Amino acid sequence: MPSPAKIRVAIVGLGFGSEFIPIYQNHPNAEMVAVCRRNKTELDACADKFGIAKRYTDFDAVLADPDIDAVHINSPIPDHGPQAIAALKAGKHVACTVPMATSKEDIAEIVKLQKSTGKTYMMMETVVYAREYLFAKDLYDRGELGRIQFLRGSHQQDMDGWPNYWPGLPPMWYATHCVSPCLAILSAAGKPALAESVVCHGSGRIREELIGNYGSPFALETATFKIAGTDVCAEVTRTLFDVARQYRESFDVTGAKASFEWQQVEGDDPVIHTKNSAETPRLEGQIPKRVKVPDYADRLPEGIRKFTGVIHDATHLSFVQGGGHGGSHPHLVHHFLMAALGEQPAFPDAPTSANWTLVGICAHESAMAGGTRVAIPQF
């Protein structure tokens, strides 16, 4: 029997954040009660559009409202850590867009507070609910890829013209989209695969006027990290400025029996390479095969299944992958609500979100130190 209980949600930050409003409004276990952004005119425009009565320009006022159970944070990156900390202290469940935070201290504090308050914390990582990831995970769990031999993630985006906190941001500070699938695919219920150490190199150089903002000179950062308790190594590549590449958010799984590659150019389907063997004889030209991936809408309550399809007023990245980052948004909302209701653990939970984010933070530290190995703090 599905639970009739409802979580009363406030969304903070209404750029990307506004894409989640209709999903909560159509979820049987959510009440979309309030929205928050600092600009009153823009706040009212958004709240009017979606028919939301409670409007806040001040984040602290959201936290002081006893009729709000959960906040979904979609504010600029530097605010994620401090806002998640304040929200947990105020006794709210927290969903927060990526990355979890930009400092090791804030990350440790969030993990500690989640544990002491018992509230749900979930980093809303889109890639691990994107249809391409769900497809690869299914293939692996069913044994069709065989043993995983290597994993590779990549996230390339041209951030010229984006708001003030972006110019010069160290590429690896926003690495969760390429790190997370590499770790999530090896995770099982209650047994997350975690990165233990990372080595990263910086390559190239961005414009001088961008370097000063964060003291980070690299056009590209490429990292390899070891996954604890396995013999698997993963490699991730990030670019943000002064690199020519269409948007790419992808990962490849290299398996002993078959490999999955999501090295997409917009509109291309992913590819499966199947090993030539006595069981599956293949001529060289028959090894790669493009595949259509399903949308996994059947995993969701009826009312929000439509959101795995095309989002019509998307202003951000969804044009690249369709349906809000591979159709991930309704899956994220559903998983978060079920976790807040105590029906299942958050995924990623606070320690896992910490590990995924810390790979990037430690990777940038490694690149700045010329490629030394950096141990990833464990919780």
Ligand X SMILES: NC(=O)c1ccc[n+]([C@@H]2O[C@H](COP(=O)([O-])OP(=O)(O)OC[C@H]3O[C@@H](n4cnc5c(N)ncnc54)[C@H](O)[C@@H]3O)[C@@H](O)[C@H]2O)c1
Binding site for ligand X (CB under 6 A): 12-16, 36-39, 59, 74-77, 79, 97-98, 126, 163, 316-317, 325
- CB-side exposure of 193: number of CA atoms within 13 Å? 20
To ligand X, the closest distance from the beta carbon of 81 in angstroms equals: 11
CB 10 within 8 A of CB 56: yes
Count of H-run helices and E-run strands, the chain: 11, 15
To ligand X, the closest distance from the beta carbon of 169 in angstroms equals: 10
Q: Which is nearer to ligand X, 97 or 308 (CB)?
A: 97
Structure tokens at 95: 């969903």
To ligand X, the closest distance from the beta carbon of 65 in angstroms equals: 14
To ligand X, the closest distance from the beta carbon of 76 in angstroms equals: 5
Between helices 323-340 and 131-141, what is the axis angle to 10°? 70
Q: Which is nearer to ligand X, 38 or 290 (CB)?
A: 38
Q: Classify residue 30 by burial, with Cβ atoms within 10 Å: 0-12, 13-18, 19+.
A: buried
Query: If you write DSSP's letter for every residue of 317-352 in order, what string do you get?
Result: SHHHHSHHHHHHHHHHHHHHHHHHTTSS--SS-HHH
DSSP bridge pairs for 154: 237, 250
Q: Which is nearer to ligand X, 193 or 240 (CB)?
A: 240
Q: Which is nearer to ligand X, 10 or 374 (CB)?
A: 10
In the bound complex, which residue of the shown chain has the CB atom lying closest to ligand X? 15
Q: Which is nearer to ligand X, 147 or 316 (CB)?
A: 316
CB 322 within 8 A of CB 247: no
- Residue 8: strand, helix, or coil: strand
To ligand X, the closest distance from the beta carbon of 122 in angstroms equals: 12
Structure tokens at 188: 């099982």
Residue 105 to residue 84: CA distance in whole angstroms:
13
Q: Classify residue 116 by burial, with Cβ atoms within 10 Å: 0-12, 13-18, 19+.
A: exposed
Q: Which is nearer to ligand X, 74 or 250 (CB)?
A: 74
To ligand X, the closest distance from the beta carbon of 237 in angstroms equals: 17
Q: Which is nearer to ligand X, 36 or 240 (CB)?
A: 36
To ligand X, the closest distance from the beta carbon of 275 in angstroms equals: 33
